[in-house]
Structure 1
Amino acid sequence: MHFLQNGGKIRLFLFLAFFFTITDLKAGEDKPYVILISWDACRYDYIDRGLTPTVQSLIDQGVRAKSLKSCFPTKTFPNHYSIITGMYPENHGIIFNNFIDPASGDSYRIKKDDSVKQDKWYKGIPIWFTAQEQGIKSGSVFWVGSEVYKRRPTYSLDYNHHMPHDERIAMIDKWLDLPLIDRPHLLMLYFADLDDNGHKYGPDSPQLDSALVKLDKTLSKLLSVVAEHNLTDSTNIILLTDHGMLETKKENAINLPEILKGFNYTLQGYDPIYSILASEDSLEKIYSALKQNASGYNVYWKSELPGRFHFSKNPLIGDIIILADPGYYFFSGKSTYSVGVHGYDNEIPEMQGIFVASGPGFKKNLTADTFLNIDVYALICKILQIKPTDSVDADIERVKHLLK
């Protein structure tokens, strides 16, 4: 009798385990998917060149914004991390692509693996981390922040700039082929092609157009992969960018070393924006020198920056900010000339990018007004039923009209 009782308990345990597994799987079947794709430096008007039929098919079935406004500064790492934390750069800590902690002297460099992976720099909580805490798995192909120790998505890759497009799509295919209990419902992809070609050849170059065509074909392959897994009806595709691109001219160089000759200072950032670190007794003199020579740029005390920039709270930001006018750039002694540049005021149309979304969560045939990229975080949370973390700057009220 005792044996039968134990056997009954075992059978009951196995039945309950099976029941809850099946229940979880059925719940998983009902959950939507989000695939978030970034085409770095895809200016808002690039997709109007008639070169991206796959993008146009998404627009025809979903939502397009007139433009997506980047956070300031309009740089790659600050904005990609803003998109997945829902926070302004001054709050999440990635203030530039490259910067120094004036207190410790430690540096953050986007091409320096050991600094990019250190969690001490990242103050925001990425959406994949919040999703995982709430039972939703994630996968990232090269999204900014996905290499950080202790905060990685469920599945991720260390950055490889030269990985072919097809191999990136193959990773998504592999993850979608996982058993439902292991499958990510939030997937992220990053492509640098437009940024590379925009910097080197300019935003209106044939090389950039060729990169657009290639990316559109890659997008078509991704949609085919989703269809092969019978997930089209449950998948929300979000295609966006981090910033735009503006063409400069060599003759618009501002000779910063000449203006600041004789001063000791450290520059944070890169063209066309820098913050300046210097000793207390030098700051006033540096500010005066910059102010006296201010042609083609503006100079600000950090505390006097326009509030719309949301770029004055973080102690990592230097006390003085210099920002070039559109089309101008700083020659700093280290920087080289780029035909295309970004980093300017985020109100400038050329600094704004694309937002296209299609899927069961989005309205159809809607052209929306420009909105700020931090609110993409709120959209994804709403679609995947993720409770946002506290203290985010994103607000679903500003973008809920995009959703069904």
Structure 2
Amino acid sequence: MRISTQMLYQISNNDLTNMQSQILKLNQQVTAGQKVLVPSDDPVNAARALDMTQTQALNTQYETNRKNANSSLAQVSSTLSSFTDMLTKLKSDVIKAGNQSFSNSERANLASELKSNFQEVLGYANATDGQGNYLFSGFKSTTQPFTLDGNGNAVYNGDQGTMSLQVDSTRQMDISASGQAIFQGNGQDIFQTMNNLISVLSVPVTEAANKADEQAANTFEYPAGSGQFPIQAYKTAQATLDATDPSDPNYAANFSAAAAAKLKSDAADAARTPVAGSQASLTRKLATFNGAFNTMIDNVGTVSASVGSRQNELDSLDAAGKVKDQNYTASINDMLGRNTADVSELISDLTLKQTYLSAAQKVFVSTSSLTLLNYLK
């Protein structure tokens, strides 16, 4: 078959154009650092890489959600820690106020201090996060959870819900707590308790009330209608024991009698109501407050432990999320040809193609200059 000069030029030109196109594509791939630039380069891996990129984006969003969740839980934890410190301080005040050497004026000063503490606790209950949302309002995060009515009692305006965030593909986590469960939970209302404590400490202890209470205790019949007066009987038994020398043969019998009388006396004392304004009345009421604060401390401790557990879980999810992200990146790099070996292969192909193009251009120049006129004399 005869090939015309024009056809030779056309074939050579097409070959050079194709080689330049291949070099241009290789340059683009080397510049981008990956083999697959468009889906047509590798439809299957391009589609898989797109799906995995979307999955990785979700994983990144979960990471953002975990940061937000951790921030909210950290604020809840900090508030609960401050509240626990306040409850411990209140318990200490109760013990201090029960000391018989404490004067009425000292108790009145303590009551005034507790009024300031009341406002501090109210501040904890109405704490907000960095965006101004209330931590303890449940789902009603823009509503102030606790307000005071006309009598100074705290009213809860939130609900029993808890805000939550999706922190992983299969985990939705609570990031708040119900204020009513914390500050008014388990039958213990911190606001009402503090108001009651302030009222109790404001009542002075008088000598007249102490004497009236002592007389009432000595004449308290228990059980009712039994004709027995256990408190007075215990005092008599104890006085007899105190007057008995330990070497006396009757000491053991007197000791046993006093111990038995003490048990009956304690039961009788628990059954009676001390005279208002007496030290006994104050001691009885303070013991109730002491038990209430213990219950509150335990309640807040349970919530704090739950918050801490969730923070630990977030740390674990973060660590797992980072591993997932690295795995996603590695898989996408494999699918799109972004690894070092892939780029090295592209550079090698580019160098080879450039060498081929240079050689082809030289051959084309040499062949295109051939003519029969060069051989005519």
* TM value normalised by structure 1: 0.25
Larger Rg: 1 or 2?
2
Q: Which structure shows the higher strand fraction? A: 1
* TM value normalised by structure 2: 0.26
Q: Which structure shows the higher helix fraction? A: 2
